[in-house]
Amino acid sequence: MSGPPDTLGHDKAPQRIAAMFDAIAPRYDLLNHVLSAGLDLRWRAKAVRSLGLTGGEKIVDLCTGTGDLALALARTRPRAGRVVGVDFSGGMLRVGRAKACARGLADRIRLVRGDVTRLPLADGSADAATVAFGIRNVQRPADAFSEVFRVLRSGGRFAMLEFSTPSVPGLRGLYLWYFTRILPRAGALISGHGSAYAYLPASVEAFPDPGRVTSDLAATGFSHIRADPLALGIVYLYSARKPPRS
């Protein structure tokens, strides 16, 4: 759920963002759980359930980071058969590989360094695809959607978690106060990087609203598109399918 420093501004060049994630990788998981009050675990579990796994599927996890969603996919029952996680931060992937080994899942999760707008997978080679709290850090999200569409088999499912700004007036004010005042300071204190979490509110604010996201998914070719609010609209779970061949 966290993001790189505000020194990036709105520059989302992969090399720059990867370097920032490398810097915060050692404390990334702790910060996610603390700053979300543990809700990030529930959100990921809901995303996994939305895929309707029957067991044995091959899944690609974009912006996999330290592999929390990849691990959830490999642990759930019925569980994925093989998970390929792709991220451009070597530091985050090192943490993810250590976690997979510690949980005895290294043989079922492959974490690779790469660009999610150029996935290292063949056409139609995945049964499902996921991304959790990372698409807003991609320079061109529409390119990532196109790649997901390409690598999914016909009928394959896509689940995506991303932050949003709640529309309920009272909650919106409280949320923005926490997001812009408390979260950056707490993130800086825990991570040891002075500006490491100032980027997060800016990236969420700049990310398209749910209506635009669903329109972009539809323009890519997806069907059965949903945008379900979680935690009163703080997070959205987007789901879609690649239509079967006619």
pLDDT at 155 over 90: yes
Contacts of 242 (CB under 8 A, 6+ apart): 149, 152, 153, 154, 155, 156, 157, 158, 221, 222, 223
**pLDDT-based confidence at residue 15 (cuts at 50, 70, 90):** confident
For 121-131, write each residue's pLDDT tens digit. 999 999 999 99
Predicted confidence (pLDDT) per residue in 26-46, tens digit? 888 988 888 788 899 999 999
pLDDT of residue 244: 93
Instruction: Look up the domain containing 30 and give its range.
Output: 6-241
Per-residue pLDDT tens for 184-225?
A: 787 777 776 655 577 777 788 889 999 999 999 999 999 999
Instruction: State the pLDDT confidence band at 78, using cuts at 50, 70 and 90.
Output: confident
The pair of three-digit structure tokens given for residue 100, joined into one six-digit string: 């997979």
Residue 1, domain member (yes or no): no
Q: Give me the pLDDT at residue 193, please.
A: 64
Q: What CATH number is associated with residue 174?
A: 3.40.50.150
From CA 156, how far away is CA 162, in angstroms rounded? Answer: 20
In a domain, 180, yes or no: yes
Distance CA 55, CA 58 (A): 9
When pLDDT is averaged across residues 131-157 and rounded to a whole number, the result is: 96
Q: How many domains does the chain have?
A: 1
Is 64 part of a structural domain of the chain?
yes
